[in-house]
Amino acid sequence: MKVTEVYSTVATHLKTHAASPQLFHLLADTFKALGDPTRVQIVWALSHGELCVTDIAELLAVTPSAISHHLRTLRNLRLVKIRRDHRTLFYSLDDEHIEHLLEEGMEHVRDLLP
């Protein structure tokens, strides 16, 4: 495909699908959130099922307050959600897209390893 064809295709796609700057900012924020190794580990742990802060902290050997801080960031971007059971909050991935994003990223980096 020629450069002019690529440009035309991208320009048409942007106009047709009304991709706004907000869309790209949210995507960048999502990647920023996943740019922290602890948050990636939290998402990976939650891809296996819901967990409470204490369980995540124990699994990752990180303080519960640090885990809570990371979970707040992930929750604000709707990467994780909460279920309350009496006084305990259980976290899980917000939807299957997050799991797919994690799987694709893991597959990519596995290919980079020697």
Q: What is the pLDDT of residues 52-108, one digit of tens each?
A: 999 999 999 999 999 999 999 999 999 999 999 999 999 999 999 999 999 999 999
Confidence of residue 8 (pLDDT cuts 50, 70, 90): confident
pLDDT on residue 70: 98
Cβ neighbour number for residue 94 with a 10 Å cutoff: 17
15-19, 33-37, 58-62, 74-78: which range is least confident on average? 15-19
Domains of the chain, CATH where assigned: 21-112 (1.10.10.10)
Helix intervals (H) in 1-114: 3-16, 21-33, 37-46, 53-60, 64-76, 96-112
Instruction: Please give the torsion angle defined by the CA atoms of residues 60, 63, 68 and 70, in that order, rounded to the nearest 10 degrees.
Output: -60
pLDDT on residue 10: 78
Give the Cα separation of 7 and 38 in Å (integer).
38
